[in-house]
Amino acid sequence: MALTLAALAKTAQAQLRGDPDRLIDSVATLQDAHPGAISFLANPKYRAYLETTRASAVILDAENAGLCPVDCLISDNPYLAHARVMAALYPEPRYPAGIDGSAVVDPSARVAPTASIGAQSFVGAGAEIGEDVIVGPGCMVMEGATIGAGSRLVAMVTLCHGTVLGRRCLVHPGAVIGGDGFGLANDAGRWVKVQQVGRAVLGDDVEVGSCTSIDRGAIEDTVIADGVKLDSQVHIAHNVKVGEHTAMAGCAAVAGSSTIGSHCTIAGGAGLTGHIELADHVHVSGATAVTRSIRKPGVYTGTVPAIEHADWLKNFARLRHLDDLARRIKSLERELAALRQQHDKAGD
C-alpha cells in the first residue's frame, strides 16, 4: 500500500511541510529508512539520526521541524501521529467471513454472518460471535461466551464459559480469559475448592497480550473496563476491577479482589497484593510490589536495582540488621548529646 503525504497528514492530523503528492509506502526508523519510507522522531535520543536520515518524510514536533532535511508532518504528539500513520499504511489483515471447514461450532451458538471463524477453532453452546469478529485458528470459545463486534482473537485464545468480550478487542495467542480464580477454603489442612461462578467481563477496545490470564470472578465478575491494555504474561486474579484506559506492561500481576483506577500504568513485573485499591492516575514502576492501597495519584516505586555481586554481598547482608543500625544511631545521638552537655558544663 502507498499513500500520499497529503493523505497521511490528514490521517495523522498533522501539518504537512513538503510535497503533498509524494508517495509513502512504509514506515522505518530514522537510521534504517530508505526512500519511500516515512519515519518519526518522538524520543529526543534519536535526534542525532535526523540529519542523515534517508526517509522521504519524518513525523516530528514543530521544535524539531527546523532540523529536518526532508519533508515532514508536524504534530504536537508525533508518536500519536506515527500510530495513525502506521494504521493507515499497515491495515489489519482481512479474513474471509464464514466458518472454516475444520472449525467446530455448536448449533446453538450464534455467529454473525460477517464473522470469520478460523481453522481448528471451537465455538461452544450458546456462544455469541458479533459482526466482523475474527476468531483465529485454534481458538476455544466456550459455552455462553460472547464477543462484541469487530473484536479479534488472533489465534490459540481461550475464552472460558460465559466470558464477555466487548467490541474492537484484540486478544493475542496463549491468552486465557475466564479461567477459575484461586478460591480455596481450608478443612483441617486440606484445601476445598470454592466454585468460581463470576465471569470475566471485558469492555470495548481492550487489548490482551500473549500468554496473559484473566481469571473469572468468585461470585461477582472480574471487570476490565473500556480501553484497558494488557501486555504479555500479565495475570489478573479473580474479582479484580481495572479502570478505563489503564495499561499494564509485561508480567505485571494483580492479586484477587483488588481495584485499580482509571488511567493508571503498571510497569513490567510489578505486582499488587490482594484486596487493595489504587486511585486513578497511579503509576507503578517496574518490578515494584504494591502492598497497600494508594489513594493519591503519582508515581510509586520499590524497585531494588542490581549492583555488582561483590557490592551486593557486603551491602545487602546489612539489610537484615537495619533495625540494629538505626538503634545504634539513636544511641550514639543520645550519648553524644550527653557528652556535649558534660563538656559544655566542664567548659563553663
Q: Kindly tell me the sign of the dihedral angle through the C-alpha atoms of 315, 321, 325, 326.
A: positive
- Please state, in angstroms and rounded to a whole number, the distance separating the CA atoms of residues 81 and 60: 9
Work out whether 243 is an interface residue with a second copy (CB under 8 A): no
Question: Site for a second copy (CB under 8 A): which residue of 53, 56, 158, 222?
Answer: 158
Work out whether 333 is an interface residue with a second copy (CB under 8 A): yes
Question: Site for a second copy (CB under 8 A): which residue of 137, 149, 277, 293?
Answer: 137
CA distances, 18 to each of 8, 23, 87 (Å)? 12, 12, 22
Backbone angles phi, psi at 73, to 5 degrees: -110, 120
Answer yes or no: are the C-beta atoms of 264 and 283 closer than 8 Å: yes
- Please state, in angstroms and rounded to a whole number, the distance separating the CA atoms of residues 166 and 176: 16
Question: Site for a second copy (CB under 8 A): which residue of 2, 48, 62, 329?
Answer: 329
Burial class (CB in 10 A: 0-12, 13-18, 19+), 252: buried
Part in contact with a second copy (CB under 8 A); list of ranges 47-55, 59-67, 108-116, 314-322: 314-322
Number of residues that bind a second copy (CB under 8 A): 136
Q: Would you give the DSSP letter of residue 93?
A: P
Indicate the residue among 62 and 90 with the shorter CB distance to a second copy: 90
Helix, strand or coil for residue 201? strand
Chain centroid offset of residue 316 CA = 32
- Please state, in angstroms and rounded to a whole number, the distance separating the CA atoms of residues 299 and 236: 21
CB of 347 to a second copy, least distance (A): 7
Work out whether 2 is an interface residue with a second copy (CB under 8 A): no
The C-alpha cell of 326 is what?
538505626
Specify whether 238 is catalytic: yes
Question: Site for a second copy (CB under 8 A): which residue of 10, 17, 110, 161?
Answer: 161
Pairing status of strand 37-40 against strand 26-27: parallel
- Applying the rule CB under 8 A, the residues between 95 and 134 that interact with a second copy are 100, 102, 104, 118-122, 124
CB of 90 to a second copy, least distance (A): 5
CB of 109 to a second copy, least distance (A): 12
Question: Site for a second copy (CB under 8 A): which residue of 231, 261, 264, 279?
Answer: 231
- Please state, in angstroms and rounded to a whole number, the distance separating the CA atoms of residues 2 and 85: 11
Answer yes or no: are the C-beta atoms of 9 and 17 closer than 8 Å: no
Q: Kindly tell me the sign of the dihedral angle through the C-alpha atoms of 304, 322, 295, 198.
A: positive
CB of 49 to a second copy, least distance (A): 13
Part in contact with a second copy (CB under 8 A); list of ranges 50-58, 60-68, 108-116, 311-319: 311-319
CB of 44 to a second copy, least distance (A): 13
Work out whether 86 is an interface residue with a second copy (CB under 8 A): yes
The C-alpha cell of 81 is what?
501521529
CB of 91 to a second copy, least distance (A): 8
Part in contact with a second copy (CB under 8 A); list of ranges 47-55, 64-72, 108-116, 278-286: 278-286
CB of 122 to a second copy, least distance (A): 4
Q: Which of 238, 245, 281, 283 is catalytic?
A: 238
- Applying the rule CB under 8 A, the residues between 37 and 76 that interact with a second copy are none
Part in contact with a second copy (CB under 8 A); list of ranges 47-55, 63-71, 127-135, 166-174: 166-174
- Applying the rule CB under 8 A, the residues between 170 and 189 that interact with a second copy are 170, 172-176, 179-180, 182-187, 189
Chain centroid offset of residue 48 CA = 30
Which of 96, 177, 202, 114 lies closest to 150, judged by CA?
114
Work out whether 261 is an interface residue with a second copy (CB under 8 A): no
List the catalytic residues: 238
